[in-house]
Amino acid sequence: MIIINKIFVNCGDANHFCDKNQYKEATFWEKVRLNIHMAYCKACRKYSSNNEKLTKLVKNPKVFSINQSSKEMMKEQLRKKMSEI
Amino acid sequence: MSINSIDPNTWIDKYSDYLFNYTIVRVDDKEIAQDLVQETFFAGLKSMKNFKGEASERTWLISILKRKIIDHYRKINSNKGKAEVRMSYAGDANTEGDWLEERVADPFDSNAESEIENTELGLAIHNCLGKLPKKQATIFKLKTMQGFDTEAICNDFDITASNLWVIIHRARTAMAECLEKNWF
């Protein structure tokens, strides 16, 4: 029974592994359990494929964001201007 | 009609990325785009009392930004000659041969549609990020877009790793749902 519980995880855990996997932080054992879970769980297969799509979209080189240090600088300048008014 | 309020302290966290994406596809230079966004915030600060609250803050900032982008092009255009487009073939009398063939569009080049899709994608993503709770959005951005380590973020925000994964999970679910409506 204990062994079965170790191999078959619930959907919550499966989602957690799936999230981790998107950042390449899931361990080998977690990936194995995720794949076993996805073999019989349709909802998690869907979640997983959506998750992958999301990662791909966000990683698209055409999506820009300003890096954190420049943002801090901008905030500093804006604060200065605000105190002038 | 609800009256929208205005608060410059939150501008950079909330709107800078959205405005930046809007700008960069129009000026094609990161430095200039960032300057323009910053100028927009300054201009917004100056004319804050003119904000009637009829539009959302973001719409209002975008309308300022549009003027700033136009001004930017006026400025570089007044440097006469530099902004002219020169066709290299026009004055070149001794070029012969494959004139037409070199001008044929390359089918493997990305086409106009995919370009447009990509520019809109940036806006769509930041639009959806703007709808998330602030903490979720910040952490999602740090983790996914700027690739910070789990540990570094945990230390910064003083949370445990499992807290972080819960936040990430909620953010991802919300983002997927939002993008599904607006994008897929």
As for how many domains chain A has, the answer is 1
Q: How many CB pairs under 8 A join A and B?
A: 92
Phi/psi of residue B5, nearest 5 degrees? -95, 175
Q: ipTM score of the complex?
A: 0.72
Query: Which of B45, B165, B176 has its CB closest to that of A51?
Result: B176
Q: Could you tell me if B174 and B132 are in contact, meaning their C-beta atoms sit under 8 angstroms apart?
A: yes
Angle between helices A42-59 and A11-22 (to 10 degrees): 20
Q: What value, to the nearest 5°, has the Cα angle with vertex A26 and ends A17 and A49?
A: 50
> What mean pLDDT is predicted for residues B3-29?
78
Q: By C-alpha distance, which of B4, B113, B106, B124 is closest to B52?
A: B4
User: Considering only CB atoms, which chain B residues are within 8 Å of A55?
Assistant: 144
Contact B45 A78 (CB under 8 A): yes
Range of the domain at A21: 2-84
CA neighbours closer than 13 Å in the CB half-sphere of residue B160 = 2
Q: By C-alpha distance, which of B137, B141, B165 is closest to B151?
A: B165
Nearest residue of chain B to residue A69 (CA atoms): B146
Q: Which CATH architecture has domain B115-184?
A: Orthogonal Bundle (1.10)
Task: Identify the pLDDT of residue B90.
Answer: 46
* Cβ neighbours for B107, distance < 8 A, ≥ 6 positions apart: none
pLDDT category of residue B140 using cuts at 50, 70 and 90: confident
Task: Identify the pLDDT of residue B51.
Answer: 77
pLDDT category of residue B119 using cuts at 50, 70 and 90: low
Contact A19 B145 (CB under 8 A): no
User: Considering only CB atoms, which chain A residues are within 8 Å of B46?
Assistant: 85
Task: Identify the pLDDT of residue A67.
Answer: 72
User: Considering only CB atoms, which chain A residues are within 8 Å of B172?
Assistant: 19, 22, 51, 54
Which of A22, A57, A67, A84 is the best residue to mutate to test the B interface, defined by the most B CB atoms within 10 Å of its own CB? Answer: A57
B19 token code pair: 């405005």
CATH number of B1-85: 1.10.1740.10
Domain ranges of chain B: 1-85, 115-184
Find which of A2-6, A65-69, B60-64 is predicted with most confidence, using mean pLDDT: B60-64
Amino acid at A53: K
Start-to-end C-alpha separation, chain A: 70
CB atoms within 10 A of CB B139: 23
> What tens digit of pLDDT does each residue of B84-115 get?
555 555 445 555 555 565 555 555 555 555 65
Contact B126 A16 (CB under 8 A): no
Element holding A62 (H helix, E strand)? none
- Least Cα separation, residue B55 to chain A (angstroms): 22
